[in-house]
Amino acid sequence: MTLAPPDYVVLALAAGGAITGIFIGLSGALAFFSGCLAASFAATFGWRFFASFISSGLARGLAVALVALVAFWIVRAIVRKTVKVALAQPGDSILGLLAAGISGFAVGIGVVWLAQFLGFPGAEGSSLLNEVLGHVG
């Protein structure tokens, strides 16, 4: 298998995720993902909830942003403390390396697939994307 330039983008994102995962650990990776999920739910339901109270779009957007940030912070803190207590330090870093490396690889594959889909020049010919699509779809 020969690597094309888009494959190097995928590998760079996977390596960056793996290096970040060593430092934040599995607890940090899970906490960030859970916090983002909670913030998106809070923003989605908060926009509808505040529609009956606040008519201005800017004021409603600021209220929703504040609620989403609070939801992100609370959920992130709870998940991080819970996982850190359950997992010892070396295991946290090793599992963080694996989890963040795999998620970086997945994000890289998604970026290359989107670039091919949108027709960016130089995005075609990714053998890693073809391999993943051969197994997935």
- Position 42 scores a pLDDT of 94
10 Å Cβ neighbour count for 26?
22
| Token pair belonging to 8 | 């190097």
Over residues 71-90, the pLDDT tens digits come to: 999 999 999 888 888 887 78
> What residue type is assigned to position 39 of the chain?
A
Query: With the C-alpha atoms ordered 15, 17, 22, 26, is the resulting torsion angle positive or negative?
Result: negative
Q: How far apart are CA 33 and CA 41, in angstroms?
A: 12
Average pLDDT rounded to a whole number, residues 84-107: 88
Q: How far apart are CA 94 and CA 105, in angstroms?
A: 17
Over residues 5-25, the pLDDT tens digits come to: 888 999 999 999 999 999 988
Over residues 22-79, the pLDDT tens digits come to: 998 888 888 988 999 999 999 999 988 888 888 888 999 999 999 999 999 999 999 9
- Position 15 scores a pLDDT of 94
Q: How far apart are CA 64 and CA 98, in angstroms?
A: 34
Q: How far apart are CA 12 and CA 127, in angstroms?
A: 15
Mean pLDDT of the chain: 89
- Position 44 scores a pLDDT of 92
Query: How distant, in Å, are the alpha carbons of 3, 26, 97, 113, 121 from that of 118?
Result: 21, 34, 31, 9, 9
Whether 131 has a pLDDT exceeding 90, the answer reads no
Q: How far apart are CA 5 and CA 23, in angstroms?
A: 28
Q: pTM higher than 0.85, yes or no?
A: no
